[in-house]
Amino acid sequence: MQNFDDIQNIQKNVSLYFDNALSKEDEEQLLKHVDNNPQCNQIFNQEKSAREFLKSKIRRTPVSQEILNRIKQQFKA
């Protein structure tokens, strides 16, 4: 069960939500809190917008299968 008493904790949990790092229970609790609290809703939407903006601007360079295989081999060693 998460604590939503202060802004820093809410920001932390919103970030964890978008990183898919919250349990289902904590995720549901956060979303209910966001729906019922305008300030939390604003924090949630700002984080969502920032992440969408970054995703639209960042282009990932494709990595060859050879490089991926070398990286995997290093983890196995």
| Structure confidence by residue, pLDDT tens digits, 30-60 | 999 999 999 999 999 999 999 999 999 998 8
What is residue 76's predicted lDDT score, i.e. its pLDDT? 85
Query: Is 37 within 8 Å of 44 (Cβ atoms)?
Result: no
33/39 Cα distance (integer angstroms): 10
| Structure confidence by residue, pLDDT tens digits, 10-23 | 999 999 999 999 99
Residue spans per domain, the chain: 7-76
- For the whole model, what pTM was predicted? 0.71
Which residue from 77, 75, 7, 76 is spatially nearest to 44, judged by alpha carbons? 7
